[in-house]
Amino acid sequence: MKLYTPSLFTLLFLFGAGLTAQDAPVVVLEEEEEAPKSFRLSGYVDAYYQANFANSAGEDATPLVFGSSFTDFPNTFGIGNVNLLAEKSFGKVSFVGQIGFGPRAVAANSDSNLDEAGTNFASTVQQLYVTYSPTEAVTFTLGNFGTFIGYEVIDAPANMNYSMSYLFSNGPFYHTGAKVDFALAEGFGAMIGVFNDTDSKFDAIAGKHIGGQLSAEAGGLAAYLNAIYGKEQEDFLDDGVGDLNELQVDLTATLDVNESLMLGINASSYSTSFEGAGQGGFFGTALYATVAATETFDFSLRGEYFGLTAAEGVDTEQPSVLALTASGNFTVGELRIVPELRFDTGSNGFTFGEEASDDSAFAFILAGVYAF
């Protein structure tokens, strides 16, 4: 979620809710004068080059890559996707449809979209939902939409760093189901929803997930408390008995210190349980700072700690990683050029290769993101 013309919070909200493309100007399709002005089409394309400076200690000495999403290949040029978002409103109802084509789109949306023949027929559908607002204070949504959990989002224009955090990569990407958003009072909101299995466009696991959000905004501070609970795995034990449940609690907040400085935080705890006994999970915290140095250049820092948590009764130290990322953001019209340095270092067995000494990864990324 991002800041580079309004505030990062505004951009974050718009893309996270799937309402419009970040701060890119909206293109209104007007082939004829009577074309509906409520219809809007926006989107983006992204590509990058990644240079990896750390190699494995094995005989092959292969480059080490980060364990987060979308930058999987070392020392190569890569593409993200071409992404299109269409929306139309008419009175109290509206729809949103978003599709993406490319490696980034497939990685983010292909998890559970296989038919019986193994064809990935829905991998490019990122969002597809309808809404109904009987009053200004209540909005019903039905379909497939981006997750309400976390700070970063799938869409590259909405993030100040091009590479992704571990919290994003391990948290949900999207939900399929129904939700209701409430405007409780000025600056306060709430949401409750029922969804299929996490990151599933179809109900791969019997039973539904329940999720909710409380939000508050005052002055330059905006905060979101999120939670989701449901069945993660059926027949957890070898004898085919019992289900594994999952719970994630997440806090996201941003603070506009002044017109030039914005701070952000994302803290998330994920746990699994079987018959009340903890089976492990993860915990992480990411801190963000963005400085608007000039009208055409922003500088962003991200520091993240991410660690696995042990199952109940296990006392051994669990793998963890500290990731530091510094990104510049140069804007040339609708093009954003992102030079980025990132250094990750692991501990307690968190490695980026097969050898125990492969515990650090270091790379330079140069990305281009064009939003329209």
Kindly indicate the confidence band of residue 37, based on its pLDDT and cuts at 50, 70 and 90: low
pLDDT value of residue 57: 86
DSSP sequence for 176-232 = EEEEEEEEEETTEEEEEEEESSTT-SS--SSS-EEEEEEEEEETTEEEEEEEEEEEE
Q: What is the mean pLDDT of the chain?
A: 87
Does pLDDT of 59 surpass 90? no
pLDDT value of residue 114: 47
Pairing label, strands 335-347, 297-309 = unpaired
Can you read off the two tokens belonging to residue 272?
A: 């699994």
User: For the chain, what percent of residues have pLDDT higher than 90?
Assistant: 74
Distance between CA atoms of residues 238 and 257, nearest Å: 53
Kindly indicate the confidence band of residue 255, based on its pLDDT and cuts at 50, 70 and 90: very high
Does pLDDT of 319 surpass 90? yes
Does pLDDT of 137 surpass 50? yes
pLDDT value of residue 282: 98
Is there a contact between 67 and 78 (Cβ–Cβ < 8 Å)?
Answer: no
Candidate from 127-131, 173-177, 197-201 with smallest mean pLDDT:
197-201
User: What residues does 367 pair with on adjacent strands?
Assistant: 48, 338
Average pLDDT score over residue span 157-186 = 97
Residues recorded for the chain: 372
Q: How far is CA 134 from the centre of its chain?
A: 29
Average pLDDT score over residue span 270-283 = 93
Kindly indicate the confidence band of residue 6, based on its pLDDT and cuts at 50, 70 and 90: very low
Can you read off the two tokens belonging to residue 25?
A: 């100007």
Residues near 211 by beta carbon (within 8 Å), at least 6 away in sequence: 148, 149, 175, 179, 191, 192, 193, 194, 195, 226, 227, 228, 229
The one-letter amino acid code at 282 reads F
Of residues 351 and 18, the one with the higher pLDDT is 351
Distance between CA atoms of residues 372 and 351, nearest Å: 39
Residues near 135 by beta carbon (within 8 Å), at least 6 away in sequence: none
Residues near 122 by beta carbon (within 8 Å), at least 6 away in sequence: 109, 110, 113, 201
Is there a contact between 301 and 329 (Cβ–Cβ < 8 Å)?
Answer: no
pLDDT value of residue 233: 82
For 240-266, b/e burial (b = at least 16 CB within 10 A) is eeebbbbebebbbbbbbeeeeebbbeb
Is there a contact between 166 and 67 (Cβ–Cβ < 8 Å)?
Answer: yes
pLDDT value of residue 239: 61
Does pLDDT of 185 surpass 80? yes
pLDDT value of residue 200: 85
Does pLDDT of 260 surpass 90? yes
pLDDT value of residue 275: 86
Report the CATH fold assignment for 8-371. Answer: Porin (2.40.160)
Distance between CA atoms of residues 295 and 23, nearest Å: 14
pLDDT value of residue 111: 53
Tokens 């004829």 label which residue?
Answer: 32
Instruction: Kindly report, residue by residue over 86-112, the tens digit of the pLDDT.
Output: 999 999 999 999 999 999 999 998 754
Does pLDDT of 253 surpass 90? yes
Does pLDDT of 121 surpass 70? no
For 168-201, b/e burial (b = at least 16 CB within 10 A) is bbbbbbbbbbebebeeeeeeebebebebbbbbbb
Kindly indicate the confidence band of residue 5, based on its pLDDT and cuts at 50, 70 and 90: very low
Distance between CA atoms of residues 319 and 346, nearest Å: 7
pLDDT value of residue 16: 40
Does pLDDT of 175 surpass 80? yes
**What is the chain's Cα-based Rg?**
21
List the alpha helices (DSSP H) in the chain. Answer: 8-17, 103-109, 166-170
pLDDT value of residue 35: 41
pLDDT value of residue 76: 96
Average pLDDT score over residue span 196-213 = 86
Kindly indicate the confidence band of residue 113, based on its pLDDT and cuts at 50, 70 and 90: very low
Kindly indicate the confidence band of residue 25, based on its pLDDT and cuts at 50, 70 and 90: very low
Kindly indicate the confidence band of residue 202, based on its pLDDT and cuts at 50, 70 and 90: confident
